[in-house]
Structure 1
Amino acid sequence: MVKENLKIVEEKINAACLRAGRSREEVTLVAVSKTKPISMIEEAMDAGIIEFGENKVQELTSKYEVLPKNLNWHLIGHLQTNKVKYIVDKTVLIHSVDSLKLAIQIDKESAKKNVISNILIEVNIAKEDTKFGVYAEDIYPLIMEISKLKHVQIKGLMTIAPFVDEPEKNRIHFRNLRQLNIDIKSKNIDNVHMDILSMGMTGDYEVAIEEGATIVRVGTGIFGERNYSI
């Protein structure tokens, strides 16, 4: 099932890139493997996937320990400061940084392990009460402070768009995030590289690609419905 689903997802990514006049190489597919067993991850690996996303630190670290070390792990869920120490040397990218306090903790733990942690600033672009993330108008002071940290490097922005019945409804949010990314990049802030736009999930990743996403996070579209019982 996973391989068949991946083929469909890949076809949709290619089509979206074609519509947007973009190269397929500009978009990274992160397979969101949260709640999924090792066997399904291995099936995705057999199909050539090496980028995997997890919501929870404990699940990421447990899978990291048993799977090959050539995989790239993305922490895409909300990160608590007391869990930072477990993942700074295991992730290629932390997508969900939305406070200076969290960034400082990532910097501190990264220094201990002599690594530089790549992060994205999570933006609550639609200002939903139920979502984490900084509001667009508050992002500049946060980025200026985080940019001073020596073991953290800002690589771009991430958002979780609203859950909608029609993907087209999220186009405005993706477009606004891309414009915010462009505005920040134009300021040429030291230690800030706005090359990554992580936006778009199973329900709306095609629209996100059309609006400039460089990372799409697809779980259900690859692995099927989530299992919340574990």
Structure 2
Amino acid sequence: MSFITENLKNITENIKKHSNSVNRNYNDILLIAVSKTFPVEYIKELYEFGIKNFGENKAQELRKKAEELKDYDIKWHFIGRIQTNKIKYIVPISEYIHSVFREKEIVEIDKIAKKHSKIQKILIEINVSGEETKGGIEPNELNELLKQAEKYENVKVVGLMTMAPYTNDENEIKKVFLGLKELRDKYVKDYPDLRELSMGMSNDYLIAIESGSTMLRIGSLIFGKRNYNIGG
């Protein structure tokens, strides 16, 4: 068993234990292995261990890996900042696009999805923490964007996504995650497809589980330290 498989085994066990401790069903939480910058051999190893959901944040790297792994039944998640001119590469491959927060992105996603006869599942990124360096709309802008998204037949908004602030203050992190859950709970009555909560990464996934996350985006805890000089 390699270090990657060992890491995955430990994390999976942690997710199960923590889910039980906060009265959540482990099966309601999807683990997305964030494979950005890591080679396809790592992805193949996790796939054989049962992981089918992988996250990438650059369109070119996503295309390259998807082509190399075309014989594998992988569900790809695009989690990076979106460039509208790269959407034509992202939509044909991605099961979910997590980082949508502008109507012009939705327009382009809808256009490309139509060409490929698919309904593209997206999550709207919310900047709950209010940090200027983070992407996403402000919470009070969600209602308007959900209304706009309804106009596009080939796009389905299935949830919300956020990133917690880089801090050791667990209360601050939990406040952000609970803020996203409150938003989802507020709008899910009018938008019943709005079920997913994509929140929680390697440093805060246990807090995310407590706060209602349905999608955990975990990379370095599984794969180790990243080399940002590779990929594209």
* Secondary structure of the corresponding residue to residue 92 of structure 1: strand
Aligned to 1:13: 15
- Give the fraction of aligned pairs with identical amino acids, expressed as a percent: 41
Aligned to 2:57: 55
Does the CA contact (< 8 Å) of 1:57 and 1:83 recur in 2?
Answer: yes
From 104, 109, 114, the counterpart of 2:112: 109
Q: CA RMSD in A?
A: 1.1
Counterpart-to-counterpart distance in 2, 1:49 and 1:217 = 13
From 40, 64, 72, the counterpart of 1:38: 40
Give 2:94's aligned amino acid.
T
* Secondary structure of the corresponding residue to residue 112 of structure 2: helix
1:89 equivalent in alignment to 2:96: no
Counterpart-to-counterpart distance in 1, 2:170 and 2:30 = 20
Give 2:19's aligned amino acid.
C
Aligned to 2:137: 134
Query: TM-score by structure 1 length?
Result: 0.96
Unpaired runs of at least 5, structure 2? none
1:121 equivalent in alignment to 2:124: yes
1:170 equivalent in alignment to 2:160: no
Unpaired runs of at least 5, structure 1? none
Quote the offset at 1:169 in angstroms: 3.0
Counterpart-to-counterpart distance in 2, 1:222 and 1:176 = 27
* Secondary structure of the corresponding residue to residue 145 of structure 2: helix
Give 1:39's aligned amino acid.
E
Aligned to 1:185: 188
Quote the offset at 1:166 in angstroms: 4.2
Counterpart-to-counterpart distance in 1, 2:167 and 2:21 = 22
Quote the offset at 1:90 in angstroms: 0.8
Counterpart-to-counterpart distance in 2, 1:95 and 1:132 = 12
Give 1:126's aligned amino acid.
S
Quote the offset at 1:195 in angstroms: 1.2
Per-residue Cα deviation, 1:108-128 (whole angstroms, up to 9, x for no partner): 111111111000000011011
Quote the offset at 1:185 in angstroms: 0.6
Instruction: State the number of aligned residues.
Output: 227
1:228 equivalent in alignment to 2:231: no
Counterpart-to-counterpart distance in 1, 2:59 and 2:150 = 24
